[in-house]
Amino acid sequence: MSQDSLVFYTNPRSRGRIARWMLEEVGVPYRTEVVEFGPSMKSGEYLSINPMGKVPAVVHNGTVVTEAAAICAYLADAFPKAGLAPPVSERGDYYRWLFFVAGPLEAAASNKALNFVVPDDKEGLIGYGNLQSVIDTLAAAVSRHRFIAGDAFSATDVYVGSHIDWGMQFGTLPKHPDFLSYWERIGDRKAYKRANELDNQSML
């Protein structure tokens, strides 16, 4: 497989770091295209890949995938030898927590960053209800097993772990004991360290 078979569009100051970690876990050759914020990301050339004009995106043998959670799931299926997805019959927690973080947690954390609090009488109108419910639910999930979907590390750990790490760093999530313990279990992975090194180098 050549690097041009899998092209990764990213910016090191973005959620592209999630996809980079996943690519390093997969361990296949890929070519990186760093897309600068501003005109480059909104150019016609890049909009033909992602009409939202955002990163990350991957193009694998002509198939375009955007959204970090979707990229993680796609790469796990496209490269099964990496063992980053459980058998289909055992994917309940794998899908459940992948989409929980992409949906309720993302929305709740974004609103917290914008200092928006859902009024008590409007919680039924918003998917996540309230931030504390999201935090409590996620804390229980990461403490239930060694990894989020069971006893084996998976693509969902890349996505969930990234959000927990960032949330604790930037204050959208508390340094909950269960979050800290979970991150200790996954944050020392070689692929994560390689991904960070590559992204940090591209920021120089």
The residues pairing with 93 across neighbouring beta strands, listed in sequence order, are: none
pLDDT band at 72 (very low <50, low <70, confident <90, very high): very high
Instruction: Please give the residue that has the higher pLDDT: either 36 or 2.
Output: 36
Measured CA angle at 148 (ends 147, 150), to 5 deg:
60
Average of per-residue pLDDT across 53-59 = 98
pLDDT attached to residue 18:
98
Q: How confident is the model at residue 186 (pLDDT cuts 50, 70, 90)?
A: very high
Residue with the two structure tokens 């100051």: 13
Distances (CA, A) of 29 to 44, 68, 141, 152: 27, 19, 33, 24
pLDDT band at residue 30, thresholds of 50, 70 and 90? very high
Token pair of 12, please?
Answer: 């090191």
Q: How long a stretch of residues is the chain?
A: 204
pLDDT of residue 204: 66
Per-residue pLDDT, 143: 97
* Mean pLDDT, the chain, integer: 96
Evaluate the omega torsion of the peptide bond into residue 80 and state whether it is cis, within 30 degrees of 0: no
Q: How confident is the model at residue 2 (pLDDT cuts 50, 70, 90)?
A: confident
Confidence grade of residue 178 (pLDDT, cut at 50, 70, 90): very high
108-152 tens-digit pLDDT:
999 999 999 999 999 999 999 999 999 999 999 999 999 999 999
